[in-house]
């Protein structure tokens, strides 16, 4: 029982203590919360004061800014009003000036109208006076207006023709001098840069023999060996009294070279009979074919021409054994290629086309025995077949003006280069008979024109000087005569290089003092 009371008392004390502790905690928390509320109120009032202060500052700044903006706007309005006033004054001044100008123009227009009336009156009076003067002149001269006009036109036409001819002659002389100077400069530079050996060749070949006994072995029993050799090669063998030598004669240079090579092999081998001859000739032909191909390739390489068809190279190589006036055609073609390229470079033309056309310009000569026609036309058709450009084809076909006149700078360049190479001293040669015939033909062409008194071919046929009758040929006719003679020479004669035609007209007045 006592324990129960003690427990109850302990519980009662614990409850009282708890209640007291709760009350004290509540009071403490309430005091703390009130303190926090008071601090928050102070902070809020402080923030409100700061906000009111900031508001007042912002209002003041806004008022200041608005005032400055207002001041600036007012100043700008004042400036604009001043500009408007100035523009109004200018417009007013311009209007006044325009009105004054309009008034001046009206006065001028009235004055011009009066002058037009006066001018029309004067024109009418001048026409009437002109008609009176024409009638008076017709009465005095005895000619009508149309007749007098015809006489005057005839005299004026004659004077104009003389002046035109004189002026044309001066212009032509100036152009010719300038062209010759420029051409000499270009050609001289090209020739100086292109140095080539010139070796004259003939249509015969000489094969040396070790002794004269070899001649009998070449002839063979009853001439069978020599007949077999001539039949296999197509070349004539000339065995005469020339010691230790046999002459091969033939116009086909390739066949002649085959015969020369075969004969040398037969002589060195010592076995000479028809079967052996045919065998050696066949081998020689194969060797010559190989040499021709290599020569064509070397020629293209030396000339700087690339991309040629193999068949063109073979045909080009055959020119090694072809001559023209004693000049080797392959060497001549290489030289023409170099000269054409140099001249084209100086003139700003197509260097590649000029070089290619220069190398191939005489390729038709390699087929001249197989195809009918001029070698220039043959060569043009040949290179056209193998895909060369029209510019190259035209230059090859026109290098002797056999198709038509040159239509491009490259064609004229190839013509000039061909003439330069052929006219180089020592490049070509001709027999005395042909030389004399060419000179006689030149003089004959010149003498065939009326008014020619004498003509002389000089400078190895590169110039013909013509003396005309002064009473039949005047100065202007002399110019026309020179052109006509040049045209006839080009149409009727064949010649290397170019020919200068000089017409001389001289009038002498002779008297004697006694």
Residue 76 located in a structural domain: no
Residue 170 three-state SS: helix
Say yes or no: 313 and 392 in one domain. yes
| Residue 195 confidence (pLDDT) | 45
Tokens 């004693």, residue located = 326
**Do residues 362 and 332 lie in contact, with contact meaning Cβ atoms separated by under 8 Å?**
yes
Residue 29 located in a structural domain: no
**Do residues 236 and 247 lie in contact, with contact meaning Cβ atoms separated by under 8 Å?**
no
Say yes or no: 398 and 453 in one domain. no
Say yes or no: 239 and 150 in one domain. no
**Do residues 275 and 226 lie in contact, with contact meaning Cβ atoms separated by under 8 Å?**
no
As a whole number, the mean pLDDT across the chain is 79
How large is the average pLDDT for residues 384-408? 74
Q: Per-residue pLDDT for 414 more than 50? A: yes
Burial 82-97 (b: 16+ CB within 10 A, else e): eeeeeeeeeeeeeeee
| Residue 404 confidence (pLDDT) | 53
Say yes or no: 419 and 443 in one domain. no
For the record, the structure tokens of 344 come out as 């084209």
Say yes or no: 377 and 257 in one domain. yes
Say yes or no: 181 and 264 in one domain. no
Q: Per-residue pLDDT for 196 more than 60? A: no
What is the rounded CA–CA span in Å between residue 356 and residue 304?
9
Report the interhelical angle of 390-397 vs 375-385 (nearest 10°). 170
Say yes or no: 261 and 292 in one domain. yes
Residue 419 located in a structural domain: yes
Q: How far apart are the first and last CA of the chain?
A: 210
Q: Per-residue pLDDT for 300 more than 50? A: yes
DSSP 8-state assignment for residue 393? H
Residue 20 located in a structural domain: no
For the record, the structure tokens of 20 come out as 């007291």
What is the rounded CA–CA span in Å between residue 263 and residue 281?
8
Which of residues 405, 423, 441 is at a domain's end? 423
Angle at CA 311, nearest 5°, toward 305 and 312? 35
Residue 378 located in a structural domain: yes
Say yes or no: 338 and 398 in one domain. yes
How large is the average pLDDT for residues 252-274? 81
How large is the average pLDDT for residues 21-47? 82
User: Residue 361: which residues within 8 A CB-CB, separation 6 or more?
Assistant: 333, 336, 376, 379, 395, 396, 399, 414, 418
| Residue 1 confidence (pLDDT) | 58
For the record, the structure tokens of 141 come out as 């001269």
What is the rounded CA–CA span in Å between residue 451 and residue 362?
40
Q: Alpha-carbon torsion 81, 86, 87, 92, what sign?
A: positive
- pLDDT band at residue 201, thresholds of 50, 70 and 90? very low
| Residue 421 confidence (pLDDT) | 75
DSSP 8-state assignment for residue 366? G
Say yes or no: 359 and 415 in one domain. yes
- pLDDT band at residue 3, thresholds of 50, 70 and 90? low
Which of residues 403, 423, 443 is at a domain's end? 423
Say yes or no: 346 and 489 in one domain. no
Residue 379 located in a structural domain: yes
- pLDDT band at residue 294, thresholds of 50, 70 and 90? confident
Q: What is the CATH number of the domain that holds 454?
A: 3.30.300.20
Say yes or no: 342 and 238 in one domain. yes
Cα–Cα distance list, 290 to 93, 166, 285, 405 (Å): 102, 63, 9, 38
How many domains, in total, are found in the chain?
Answer: 3
What digits encode the pLDDT tens for the residues 139-160?
Answer: 776 666 677 677 767 777 766 7
Is 84 or 215 the better-scoring residue by pLDDT? 84
Residue 406 located in a structural domain: yes
The answer to which of 28-32, 107-111, 291-295, 320-324 has the lowest mean pLDDT is 320-324
- pLDDT band at residue 407, thresholds of 50, 70 and 90? low
Q: How many CB atoms lie within 10 A of CB 289?
A: 15
Tokens 């009336």, residue located = 117
- pLDDT band at residue 370, thresholds of 50, 70 and 90? low
What is the rounded CA–CA span in Å between residue 135 and residue 310?
87
Domain assignment of residue 490, given as a range:
432-504
How large is the average pLDDT for residues 474-479? 84
Q: What is the CATH number of the domain that holds 222?
A: 1.10.3210
Tokens 């001709």, residue located = 430
How large is the average pLDDT for residues 469-496? 85
- pLDDT band at residue 198, thresholds of 50, 70 and 90? very low
- pLDDT band at residue 296, thresholds of 50, 70 and 90? confident
C-alpha Rg value of the chain to the nearest Å: 57
- pLDDT band at residue 394, thresholds of 50, 70 and 90? confident
Beta strands, E only, 244-362: 245-249, 323-324, 327-328
Say yes or no: 387 and 308 in one domain. yes
Residue 272 located in a structural domain: yes
Which one, of 250, 253, 323, 239, lies nearest residue 288 by Cα?
Answer: 253
What digits encode the pLDDT tens for the residues 492-508?
Answer: 887 766 788 899 887 76
Is 424 or 450 the better-scoring residue by pLDDT? 450
**Do residues 239 and 219 lie in contact, with contact meaning Cβ atoms separated by under 8 Å?**
yes
What digits encode the pLDDT tens for the residues 324-355?
Answer: 666 778 888 888 888 888 888 888 888 888 88
Question: Residues, the chain, total?
Answer: 514
| Residue 121 confidence (pLDDT) | 87
Is 183 or 59 the better-scoring residue by pLDDT? 59
Which one, of 299, 304, 330, 332, lies nearest residue 196 by Cα?
Answer: 332
Which of residues 193, 213, 230 is at a domain's end? 193
Q: What is the bridge-based pairing of β-strands 327-328 and 323-324?
A: antiparallel
């Amino acid at each position: 029982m006592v324990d129960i009371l003690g427990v109850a008392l302990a519980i009662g004390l614990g409850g009282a203590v708890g209640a007291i502790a709760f009350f004290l905690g509540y009071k403490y928390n309430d005091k703390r919360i009130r303190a926090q509320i008071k601090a928050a109120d102070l902070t809020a009032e402080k923030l409100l004061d700061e906000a009111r202060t900031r508001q007042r500052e912002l209002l003041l700044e806004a008022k200041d800014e608005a005032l400055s903006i207002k001041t600036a706007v007012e100043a700008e309005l004042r400036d604009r009003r001043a500009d408007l006033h100035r523009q109004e004054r200018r417009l007013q001044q311009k209007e006044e000036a325009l009105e004054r100008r309009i008034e001046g123009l009206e006065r001028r227009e009235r004055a011009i109208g009066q002058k037009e009336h006066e001018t029309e009156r004067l024109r009418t009076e001048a026409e009437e006076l002109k008609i009176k003067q024409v009638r008076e002149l017709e009465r005095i001269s005895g000619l009508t207006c149309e007749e007098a006009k015809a006489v005057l036109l005839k005299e004026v036409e004659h004077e104009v023709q003389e002046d035109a001819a004189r002026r044309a002659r001066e212009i032509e002389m100036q152009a010719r001098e300038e062209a010759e100077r420029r051409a000499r400069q270009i050609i001289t530079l090209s020739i100086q840069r292109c140095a080539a050996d010139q070796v004259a060749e003939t249509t015969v070949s000489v094969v040396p023999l070790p002794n004269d006994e070899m001649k009998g072995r070449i002839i063979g029993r009853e001439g069978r060996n020599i007949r077999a050799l001539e039949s296999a090669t197509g070349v004539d063998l000339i065995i005469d009294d020339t010691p230790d030598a046999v002459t091969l004669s033939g116009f086909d240079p390739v066949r002649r070279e085959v015969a020369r090579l075969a004969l040398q092999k037969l002589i060195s081998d010592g076995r000479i009979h028809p079967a052996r001859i045919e065998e050696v000739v066949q081998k020689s032909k194969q060797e010559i074919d190989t040499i021709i191909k290599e020569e064509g390739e070397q020629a293209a390489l030396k000339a700087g021409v690339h991309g040629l068809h193999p068949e063109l190279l073979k045909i080009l190589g055959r020119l090694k054994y072809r001559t023209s006036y004693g000049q080797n055609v392959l060497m001549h073609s290489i030289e023409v290629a170099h000269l054409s390229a140099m001249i084209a470079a100086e003139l700003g033309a197509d260097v590649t086309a000029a070089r290619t056309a220069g190398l191939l310009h005489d390729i038709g000569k390699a087929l001249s025995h197989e195809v009918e026609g001029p070698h220039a036309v043959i060569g043009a058709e040949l290179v056209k077949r193998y895909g060369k450009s029209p510019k190259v084809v035209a230059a090859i076909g026109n290098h002797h003006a056999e198709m038509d006149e040159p239509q491009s700078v490259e064609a004229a360049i190839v013509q000039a280069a061909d003439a330069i190479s052929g006219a180089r001293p020592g490049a070509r040669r001709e027999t005395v008979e042909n030389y004399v015939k060419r000179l006689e033909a030149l003089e004959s062409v010149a003498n065939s024109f009326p008014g020619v008194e004498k003509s002389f071919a000089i400078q190895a046929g590169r110039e013909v000087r013509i003396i005309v009758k002064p009473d039949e040929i005047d100065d202007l006719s002399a110019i026309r005569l020179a052109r006509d003679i040049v045209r006839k020479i080009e149409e009727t004669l064949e010649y290397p290089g170019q020919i200068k035609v000089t017409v001389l007209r001289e009038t002498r007045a002779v008297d004697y003092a006694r």
